[in-house]
Amino acid sequence: MDPNNIQVVLVHTTHAGNIGGVARAMKNMGLTRLTLVKPRTFPAPEAEWRAASAIDVLQNARVVETVEEAIADAQFVVGTSARERRIPWPVQDARHCGERIVNQARAGESVAILFGREDRGLLNEELQLCNLHCHIPTHDAYPSLNLAMAVQILTYEIRMTELGDSIPAEQDANWDTPFATTADMTRFYTHLEETLIDIEFLDPQAPRQLMRRLRRLFNRVRLDEMELNILRGMLSETQKRLKERG
How many contiguous H segments (helices) and E segments (strands) does the chain have? 10, 7
Q: Does 169 bind a copy of itself (CB under 8 A)?
A: yes
Q: Does 122 bind a copy of itself (CB under 8 A)?
A: no
State the sign of the Cα–Cα–Cα–Cα dihedral 36, 39, 42, 44: negative
Residue 33: enclosing H or E segment and its boundaries?
Answer: strand 33-37
Interface mask (CB under 8 A) for a copy of itself, residues 211-230, using x and -?
--xx--xx-xx-x--xx--x
Query: How distant, in Å, are the alpha carbons of 35, 37, 198 from that of 61?
Result: 5, 10, 73
Greatest extent of the chain over all pairs of C-alpha atoms, in Å: 89
Closest separation in Å from C-beta 246 to a copy of itself? 5
Q: Which value, to the nearest 10 degrees, does the dihedral of the CA atoms of residues 161, 162, 164, 166 take?
A: -150
Interface mask (CB under 8 A) for a copy of itself, residues 55-84, using x and -?
------------------------------
Nearest CB to a copy of itself, comparing residues 59 and 146 = 146
Cα end-to-end distance, the chain, whole Å: 71
Q: Does 93 bind a copy of itself (CB under 8 A)?
A: yes
| Of the candidates 127, 32, 121, the residue with the CA atom closest to the CA atom of residue 71 | 127
| Of the candidates 223, 221, 243, 241, the residue with the CA atom closest to the CA atom of residue 231 | 223
Contacting residue, 5, 13, 21, 58, with a copy of itself by CB under 8 A:
21
How far apart (Å, rounded) are the C-alpha atoms in residues 44 and 162? 32
Closest separation in Å from C-beta 58 to a copy of itself? 13
Closest separation in Å from C-beta 93 to a copy of itself? 5
Contacting residue, 156, 187, 193, 215, with a copy of itself by CB under 8 A:
156
Closest separation in Å from C-beta 125 to a copy of itself? 19
Task: Specify which residues 192 forms β-bridges with.
Answer: none
Q: Does 138 bind a copy of itself (CB under 8 A)?
A: yes
* 25-44 binders of a copy of itself (CB under 8 A): 25, 27-30
| Of the candidates 67, 4, 62, 65, the residue with the CA atom closest to the CA atom of residue 31 | 4
Query: What residues line the site for a copy of itself (CB under 8 A)?
Result: 21, 24-25, 27-30, 52-54, 87-88, 90-96, 132, 136-139, 141-146, 148-149, 152-153, 156, 159-160, 163, 167, 169, 171, 174-176, 196, 198-201, 210, 213-214, 217-218, 220-221, 223, 226-227, 230, 233-234, 237-238, 241-242, 245-246
